[in-house]
Structure 1
């Protein structure tokens, strides 16, 4: 039987799989190897190249197209009769037989043929199939799509297998094509949209004759099945992605096809709980055929995707009710998560929101396009904290405006959207625009009469005024907002207002009142377990500690803030915190200069991804730190550390900061040294704590506020290394 392998083509990005396949086929004990993977992944090409390369290791190589009627039975008959070109079977002769395309109707006869053929000790069978043949002794070698570029991983795009294949095929179509800084992002997006599927990448590369990469990427965003134009001598399923998707779904039973249509409306990376499914609900048949793939795991839950082009094909055929059901499910998920976002479940809910972010946006787009303004507004408002934590600032601002301007909308949600848009504007570094938007929110809110919302809008207006440089106006607005929120019992809002008011007091030079406000806010955030709010209060306290030349408590506070941001996967505020921590390292631990460089570089890149601008005074401070580091470190050391920081992801940057050594406390020779580490007022407070007095009694005894006592006790514990009032009493007892 003759072998028709076609022209030789170098498999791009398949070096590891090719080596593994060669090793198995040459192993003396192997009789059947099945190369599995979904349609278009390149099974046939890899198998044929392996057969071509191993021709000298076998007396004969033969190829059978399993889809051709009668080809399998003819191959079995030929081996049984020893009629393969007149040569005897068995003995010392080794034959490599490729059974290509053992799919759908051909799967069962291919399994029977493989068993019959592999029974001959001189025959090694290599099969290609979408799913395993399911016979005894079968060795599987799964073949997946090529890796795609990862966001912010710092990897050379030429080294990413999907990009390398796309570029090579693009040059085959247009020898002048080159991967450049200008088209690199579009090429990376194309590879990601196509999921690294080799056939899809090759079809896309052919389109570069007509479209530049950025226009091709825009066309593929809506539907990848527009790609066609495969070789005329290729199987029909390889000439277009529509044909490939139809062939992939061939033979599915009605229940599996219905489930596939239901899941196709979900963006890649959905969880079963979010999709309202249990693991046993008919997923196995789809997974066996590569129609449903596992992308990874998030906090113990698997994340799934319907891969392209099957997803585009199935979604186009799905009824409009599937998209409606998807949008309704995520609308309910966002609404259900809202009450817990500022409390105990904040870290879990924010991570779940980040994992389902693409589906939340898809649901929002559907509601918006459907004209359901109130539902879309409710979703945008529910995404307030998740989008801030994820650094999706520009996107959040645009959605606030799009939903507010789309059509008739009641004044209440319109006012809240204006207020939220101001929050995003401030986070993006435009305080003047934030002031304008918050004032509009207050103007709209007056007609609604929602006192709580108006107080929150006033709070945010005050924060924006402070960032805009008008500390006096900010103080006045914040005092009113704080009082109103406190009167209404809005605990979280009161604490948020206290942090903002403390910043205004600090700007006016009243550090004592500022600290009192921050300590009060810290206690509130701890009670409510609002990690993001607590981190903000700790950062403000650290700034006051540093002004008072107390780096140790400042570092303790910043380390706790880093851990809190890590728990919620914070992106918007993290760059600023990393810079603050780097500057503290420079001040307290000069030996940590290379680490400080890495943190400053990581912060710079992370902030660029959010699109946020920083105040000029803070930018100048960071620039001075970089200049100082560049002068104190040798240039190669500085450049190396900076490059390492640029490549850091957010979790890696946090781990880098927290892995810095904790400076040891000053050695204490005895009880007298302990006492001398306290200020006179702190020593007074410590003595009264040792007497067993409560904070209220100490405040009355010393004629100071109770919150000032709380702050003094806190400082006493830090300086003495104590974690409780009992330990403070023990330390005082040693003073004699």
Structure 2
């Protein structure tokens, strides 16, 4: 880097030269970093392009923002050096350190000193700067601007007065002016969570920025350090625990003089005491991580500090509306969050699932630990933890009302995003003796645990909550007991389930809680049916049906009818079972809820058809149910339906397909850690030897293994692929119309609506199915009719009298 004199370098006659006496010597040299920059290729390229006047971006005020220790200054110096080598700013690059300043009025004099302009008692420093820089192409780097942000208007004035000037600012807080282009500096790239099935190699881990930085700094501290297959995964986890924050990684790596990576990782539960002892040539604020964060915290006003402490209890991120529910005591939650984002103490999160569910924010764990320390120092831990628990109790109870309706998936996803906060709320309630709050949380959350297969975790929480002699209200305890029994039933722990359900029924009846009584009766009916006690199951379902009919509870009626239909099927009365399923289906449709449709009915009707020997109808019904279950995220039911479709494939002598579907069905259940229900397990275990005998051991093993390797999407697609001779369903529609193309009953319904000119959404609304399901049916209809378009299908249907 040069210390060129602007007078000597400028030769263009269009530039007005300052008298030599105004400048003591060339602009001060850019500081030379003592260590190499690791990674940051994307950031370097982007910033270089933004600052390069010849590149077309024309950004004249660029602010690098980010938390302390993320590497803003280091990145700015690296880019500046590259620009200097390229002679992008022929009149010089000036580095202006502002960390020692507290008075905004001193910023312009500090810039003047960096430019080495001579002082003049007859001319204010502002005017002298304007005159000096008016026609020069100079880059000013204003480092650590966060504590003198009130001087931001001076930067604007400089840019207006000096049209060829460019300013690069580093700051933990964005400048409060509109002219800036903000560039948030992210932490270093982190390794993904380890997958035991396909772990990354040492070379792959070493190529990741955070790991590369740790390895380099650790080797500088301990020359014997090297990444090995045993050490590399440990280093990767250290980097993840440190949020990819360069300063934290460097401080941790320096500890390798004394600690092995494994010992270092074990001590990272409390990061801040460990991450100290930085080099003495570093600024004091960068010698410990705590000092770095404290620097930012001390720049906040009292209200901002309070909001920061309150939000530090949140783990795994926080949605804005949860802050607005009362988690922050600030007058405006939005303003509080915006201020902390501007000061780089929290960050906006991108939704991993792409959901548009409103803003969500996260605090780096290293910063969050400091916030929790401050919360304790201010004596606020208990009250803020209580507020946090109350906030997420309200969310859980609100969500529970939607977990069986059309908004089910939206709320399940929301609870999944807040799972860490819900766990923290439950933990605090249990440990603080808030038994009523803990029971309300668990009673609200058990359907989420059930549907998202956090079954073992849910049973653990409910066991902690439902202690003998607790002070939980009987109705609430009954609801929690139904949840505990249901999760035990999912794991086929039938004795535990029976005890929980029986206690729930006794408590619910004692306090005349009809809703809880009905739920307990339904649960006892399902349990009895699974254990082969069909008379006991019918008695429970009949009692539940009577109770729900008295209350005009349509969902309860539908569930009771569904249970009675299963009992009839288990007893071999297919006609009664089908009639009861049709009745349940009518209630679900009246409610406008697809859950009952997708979860059970078409698949169970397929079981009935198969038991009656109508394999074609059974296959069509299984496929219909498979589509619906897949659309609505009921992964648990896919295995049962794949087994039914494997039976259909075997009936058609397609042993390879049958083996692949059986392999996929078994793997899906293993992945969910949820065993098949007794009926499905018996079906599965009886089919396997039949298919093996048909194919032979070698061919069966190969096809079965290939099925286990299928993704859920691929398994469903394979099961839905059209047959060479497609199944045909008898129905009121197709009984009076020709069906030479062997369309299923549902495909004929879809074709009728296509002829009527309905769009996909209209068809979905009419048939109570999802748009993706409609698309599958339309695709199959076009394939069976051999036509390319919907209009061609409608024309052919009219010509052939298909509808």
**SS of 2:33 mapped into structure 1:** coil
SS in 1 for 2:632: helix
Aligned ranges for residues 60-79 of structure 1 at < 5 Å? 62-69=94-101, 73-77=109-113, 79=115
Question: What residue number does 2:38 align with?
Answer: 11
Distance between the aligned counterparts of 1:554 and 1:595, measured in 2?
Answer: 14
How far, CA to CA, are the matches of 1:181 and 1:513 in structure 2?
63
Cα distance change, pair 313–671 in 1 and its aligned pair in 2 (3 A): closer
Alpha-carbon RMSD: 5.2
3-state SS of 1:63 partner: strand
**Unmatched tracts of structure 1, length 5 or more:** 84-88, 683-717, 722-729
Say whether 1:395 aligns with 2:457. Answer: yes
Conserved? CA contact 1:575–1:603, under 8 Å: no
Q: Structure 1 stretch 244-253 or stretch 336-345: which is displaced more?
A: 336-345
* TM-score normalised by the chain length of structure 2: 0.68
Q: What is the TM-score of this pair, normalised by structure 1?
A: 0.73
Mapped to 2, the partners of 1:109 and 1:131 lie a distance apart of: 13
Per-residue Cα deviation, 1:585-631 (whole angstroms, up to 9, x for no partner): 967999999999799769847853x4334465576589889998997
* Change over 3 Å in CA distance of 1:676–1:601 after alignment to 2: closer
Matching residue within 278, 284, 296 for 1:231: 278
CA distance in structure 2 between the aligned counterparts of 1:133 and 1:455, rounded to whole angstroms: 61
How far did 1:381 drift? 1.0
Q: Residues 650-705 of structure 1, C-alpha deviation per residue, up to 9 Å, x if partnerless?
A: xx77996899679997799x9988468999xx9xxxxxxxxxxxxxxxxxxxxxxx
CA shift digits 1:431-451 (9 cap, x unpaired): 1x2333322541575366447
Match of 1:314 in 2: 371
Q: Contact (CA 8 Å) 1:38, 1:130: kept in 2 or not?
A: yes
Judged with a 3 Å threshold, the aligned counterparts in structure 2 of structure 1 residues 663 and 35 are, in CA distance, closer, same or farther, namely: farther
SS in 1 for 2:605: helix
- Alignment of 1:486 onto 2:528: no
Does structure 1 residue 303 correspond to structure 2 residue 360?
A: yes
Alpha-carbon deviation of 1:260?
Answer: 2.4
After superposition, the C-alpha distances for 1:275-315 in whole angstroms (9 at most, x for unaligned) are 32566444322221122322135444111223333323223
Q: Could you say if the C-alpha distance between residues 512 and 246 of structure 1 is closer, same or farther in structure 2, counting changes exceeding 3 Å?
A: same
For the 8 Å contact 2:643–2:684, the answer to whether it is kept is no
Aligned equivalent of 1:691: none
Aligned to 1:697: none
Aligned partners of 1:515 and 1:544 also within 8 Å: yes
Deviations 1:244-284 (A, max 9, x none): 22222222222222222332223333222223256644432
Q: Secondary structure at the match of 1:296?
A: coil
2:773 corresponds in structure 1 to none
Query: Which of 135, 144, 154 in structure 2 is aligned with 1:101?
Result: 144
When structure 1 is superposed on structure 2, of 530-539 and 247-256 the one drifting more is 530-539
Q: Does the CA-based 8 Å contact 2:607-2:644 persist in structure 1?
A: no
> Which of 435, 444, 447 is residue 495 of structure 2 equivalent to?
435
Residue in 2 that maps onto 1:288: 342
Offset at 1:235?
2.5
> Which of 427, 444, 447 is 1:382 aligned to?
444
* Candidates 417, 421, 427, aligned match of 1:365: 427
Shift of 1:9: 1.8
Kindly indicate whether the alpha-carbon contact (under 8 Å) linking 1:22 and 1:54 is maintained by their aligned counterparts in 2: yes
> CA–CA distance in 2 between the matches of 1:631 and 1:170?
52
Instruction: State how 1:429-508 maps to structure 2 within 5 Å.
Output: 430-431=491-492, 433-443=493-503, 445-446=505-506, 449-450=509-510, 453=516, 456-464=519-527, 466-467=529-530, 470-471=531-532, 473=533, 475-489=534-548, 491-508=554-571
The change in CA–CA distance for 1:182 and 1:324 in structure 2 (over 3 A counts) is same
Contact 2:174 2:343 in 1 (8 A): no
Q: 1:353 to 1:629 in 2, by over 3 A?
A: farther
Give the deviation of 1:75 after TM superposition: 4.1
Structure 1's 48 and 486: CA in aligned 2 closer, same or farther, altered over 3 A? Answer: same
Aligned-pair CA distance for 1:485: 0.4
Task: Quote the residue 1:200 is aligned against.
Answer: 248
More contact order relative to length (CA 8 Å, sep ≥ 6)? 1
**1:310-334, Cα deviation, whole Å (9 max, x unpaired):** 3232233331212111212222333
Cα drift, residue 509 of structure 1 = 3.6
Give the direction of change, closer, same or farther, for the CA distance of 1:636–1:182 in structure 2 (3 Å limit).
Answer: farther
Unaligned regions of 5+ residues in structure 2, if any? Answer: 1-27, 120-131, 326-331, 746-779, 785-796
Cα gap change, 1:377 to 1:629, in 2 (>3 Å): farther
Deviation, structure 1 residue 396: 0.2
Shift of 1:399: 0.3
